[in-house]
Amino acid sequence: MADFNVNLRDVGNVSIIDVKGYLDAHTAPELENVFNKLLDGKQFKVVVNFNDLKYISSAGLGVFMAYVETMRENKGDIKFSNMKESVYNIFDLLGFPILYEFYKEELEAIQKFNLQGQA
């Protein structure tokens, strides 16, 4: 069932992961594959664009938990953008805003990486 789609693209030296549809225990491995691909390519600056994501369960949240520290250890990060309120509420319920940066627009997240790069 094609109820989840993940696409990877680059904007400058930042990788953007577009997630679409339903992210659950069945589809989370597809997202893990993308993160593994990024690690293989030593790409640690990541923005996840949630614009087309309709649903997330803890299996999806667990993927970000599993990879974020590796990204940070390598001077990168996983930042989130374009999240619907219903999806954000789940992240909020688990306290993710303490540990992750959320941006309204993808561009703001990219600019934050670029600013950090200059520092």
| Residue 21 CB, nearest approach to other proteins (Å) | 10
Summarize as ranges the residues that interact with other proteins (CB under 8 A). Answer: 1, 3, 22, 24-26, 55, 57-59, 61-63, 65-66, 68-69, 86, 90, 93-96, 98-99
Q: Which is nearer to other proteins, 4 or 103 (CB)?
A: 4
Token digits for 21? 């549809």
Q: Which is nearer to other proteins, 9 or 26 (CB)?
A: 26
| Residue 82 CB, nearest approach to other proteins (Å) | 19
CA 32 to CA 92: how far, in whole Å?
Answer: 22
| Residue 40 CB, nearest approach to other proteins (Å) | 19
Pick from 6, 2, 74, 82: which is nearest to 44 by CA? 74
Strand 102-103 vs strand 45-56: parallel, antiparallel, or unpaired?
A: unpaired
Per the CB < 8 A criterion, the answer to whether 66 and 29 are in contact is no
Q: Which is nearer to other proteins, 10 or 92 (CB)?
A: 92
Angle at CA 111, nearest 5°, toward 47 and 116?
A: 95
Q: Which is nearer to other proteins, 11 or 102 (CB)?
A: 102
